[in-house]
Each structure stands twice: as structure tokens, then as C-alpha cells.
Homo-oligomer: A and B are copies of this chain.
Amino acid sequence: MESEFRQDPVTGRQVIIAPARDDRPHDFAGDLPRVNETFDPFLEGHEETTGPEVFAIRDQDSSPNTKGWRVRVVNNKYPAITPSDDIKSVAGLFARSTGFGVHEVIVECPHFETNLSRLSANHIGDVLLAYQQRLETHQQNPKLKHASLFKNKGALGGASLDHAHSQLIVTSEVTENVRLELDGARAYFEQHQRSVFGDIIHAELGSAERIVQDSENFVLLCPFASRFAYEMVIIPKQQICQFEQTEKDKLPELGEILKSALQKLETVLHDPPYNYIVHTAPFHSCDLPDFRWHIELFPRTTLIGGFEWSSGCIINSVSPEAAAQQLRDN
């Protein structure tokens, strides 16, 4: 069975039913999954064990799918969605459509390394450059509208492999959570004629109680309504809605602040599982004055229970003010 989007008949919420994902070698089976430590498909020299290479930052004299790369992007071998030519849709009570899209893996370094934070800020800048390149490529496809960029670290973070990597899922629709942010940012702008992200930075830098770090072009802080203990967000000071529009010469600085955020998290919580997600505006968004791209970063040390699934409201037992103070001091 190919993967498909299905819509909940009551709430309208979408899920992806992707039976092919179940073939993954390290899938969950009752216990917490163990990542495979015996063979590393992402290692330099193992290029033929991954999906085909779609982009790499590599030595000038090297060829695709061979050694000589620093960051490498490949198709996910167990994709949640695929770029099918034949898109079918069924409307009605049980609405469904073909799981159309792209699912890629960004391998962050050629040697075995579990923690992105141990790479240099410049190397992390190259990872971010690879993100930009993929976004620029995919927005040339008129069937694709929006990209979800994310990193799963550790088994509880949803990772099935230890070697540092992130992922990209590009879809023909804007996802529910980014749609909510876009709508919220527009409503705020209509009321105040200012970007809510700009106002957040201004207020946070003023009070400083939730600021973790401040650099020339970016701010790292614990969000006021943090869902997770020690959640952080990186917001650019410039009003840029799409991640790929950030000037390339600022990526090493962004790499530096991302590295610092991860190091602080790893110090305070002893190398926790975590996720980060890059929220960026849909393709061809044309300089929105209200929405601003940002990176949300959260350790997965909080277990989500029945109340959260029932309500949609998350209980966080560490205040962001206390978290920011600890993260600043480390």
C-alpha cells in the first residue's frame, strides 16, 4: 500500500498512513528501540547503502555517491511520502489522497558523530546551507508548497539512527501548525501593524528574563509559553519569512548560536534526546511582513501523557524563566 493522507471526519485533521515505514530495521517493538551501532549507513565510504544523493557539499574533484563530501542529502530509504505522478483523491466522510511529496535525509558529517554540537560552527553553517539549497530546489516544483525541516536526536526523539542527521519533508499543503502560526502572525499584524516576532524580541530583550543568548543577527530564548522543559527558540532579528532568504554569509553566525544552544542543552540535561524544527513560510511567500522563520528546539525529557493528547494543552513543569537562567549559566 502506498502512503496516503487521511482526514479525520470529525476534526478535519490530517494524518499520514505510511505502511512502508514499518519496514524500517530499527522500528519500535515493545521496548524503547535501540539504534543500530554495528553498521552506519551514513558513514563516508558507505554511500551506496543510502538512497541516491540529491545534493552534497563535497570536494571539487569528487563524484556524487562517492567519498569526499562534508554534508550529503539523500532520499529517505523509508519515505513517509513519495513524489508519485498519479495523485488520487477521494472526498466524503472518509476523505483521503495519495501521500504526495518528498522525504529527504541530510547527513550532517562524513565521520561517525552523534552530536551536531560537536561539529564546528562553520560546518553547522554548511548543514544550514544544505537546508537552504534543498528549499530553493523544491520550490521550483509547482506541485510542492511547503517544507518541514526537522532533526530527531536519540531514540526518544524519534531517531532510528545515531549518526547526526536531519530530515526534510516537502508537501503540497502547508502543515496545520505552520498554518496556525501564519494566521496568528497575520492577525497580530492587522491589529498592531507590527510583526509579532519583532515585538517578542523587543519585549524579551527588554526584560531579559527568558533570554539565553543574543548575537548580532539572532536571539536565543526560552519561549514564554514553552511546551517543553528547557525549550528554546532562535529568532532572526531581521524580518525574513523564508529560511532560504537569509543571507548565506550569516549562516556561520546562525551555526554558532545553534551550536551554543545544543551545548547548553547537553550540559544542563546530560545529552538528552531532542528535536529541532525549522518553521519557514510556504514557498513563494514574497516577503511577508508578519511571519518570520524561526528554529524551535526542545529536549524530549517530558513524557506526553493522556491529558495532553486529550486536550492539546501541554503541562510543563519547568518555568521558562528558571530554564533560561540555568541555560544562560551553562
CB-defined contacts of A149 to chain B, threshold 8 Å = 310
User: A167 contacts B93, CB within 8 Å?
Assistant: no
**Chain A 1-33 interface 0/1 with B at a Cβ cutoff of 8 Å (1 = within):** 100001111111111111111101001111011
Using CB atoms, name the residue of chain B closest to A182.
B10
CB-defined contacts of A272 to chain B, threshold 8 Å = 30
Most buried by B among A9, A152, A177, A196: A9
> Would you call A142 an interface residue if the criterion is a C-beta within 8 Å of the partner chain's C-beta atoms?
no
- One of B22, B203, B279 near A94 (C-beta < 8 A): B203
**Chain A 142-163 interface 0/1 with B at a Cβ cutoff of 8 Å (1 = within):** 0000001111100111110000
If A158-B306, A276-B306, A316-B15 touch, does A188 touch B10 (CB 8 Å cutoff)?
A: yes
User: A313 contacts B10, CB within 8 Å?
Assistant: no
Using CB atoms, name the residue of chain B closest to A200.
B9
CB-defined contacts of A320 to chain B, threshold 8 Å = 17
User: B19 contacts A317, CB within 8 Å?
Assistant: yes
User: B18 contacts A316, CB within 8 Å?
Assistant: yes
> Would you call A112 an interface residue if the criterion is a C-beta within 8 Å of the partner chain's C-beta atoms?
no
If A151-B306, A275-B309 touch, does A301 touch B28 (CB 8 Å cutoff)?
A: yes
User: B22 contacts A318, CB within 8 Å?
Assistant: yes
**Chain A 81-102 interface 0/1 with B at a Cβ cutoff of 8 Å (1 = within):** 0000000000001100000000
User: B319 contacts A1, CB within 8 Å?
Assistant: yes
User: B22 contacts A150, CB within 8 Å?
Assistant: no
Sorting the interface of chain A by its residue count into under 10, 10 to 19, 20 to 34 or 35 or more gives 35 or more
A78 to B: closest C-beta gap in Å: 9
CB-defined contacts of A33 to chain B, threshold 8 Å = 303
CB contacts under 8 Å to B, within A196-252, are 196-197, 199-200, 203, 223-227
Most buried by B among A15, A18, A185: A15
CB contacts under 8 Å to B, within A289-330, are 296, 298, 301-320, 322
User: A9 contacts B225, CB within 8 Å?
Assistant: yes
- One of B22, B275, B278 near A305 (C-beta < 8 A): B275
User: B152 contacts A11, CB within 8 Å?
Assistant: no
Given known contacts A11-B181, A15-B227, what 9 new A-B pairs fall within 8 Å (CB)?
A8-B184, A9-B184, A9-B224, A28-B302, A157-B303, A158-B308, A175-B310, A177-B311, A279-B310
In the complex, 28 of the A-B residue pairs with CB atoms within 8 angstroms, ordered by the A residue number, are A9-B188, A9-B200, A10-B197, A10-B200, A11-B177, A11-B184, A13-B313, A14-B225, A15-B225, A15-B226, A15-B314, A17-B226, A19-B318, A20-B317, A30-B270, A93-B199, A93-B203, A94-B224, A148-B307, A148-B311, A150-B310, A155-B303, A156-B303, A175-B310, A177-B312, A178-B311, A277-B306, A296-B310
Pairs of residues from A and B, 6 with the lowest C-beta to C-beta distance, nearest first:
A158-B305, A150-B306, A175-B311, A176-B312, A277-B310, A21-B317
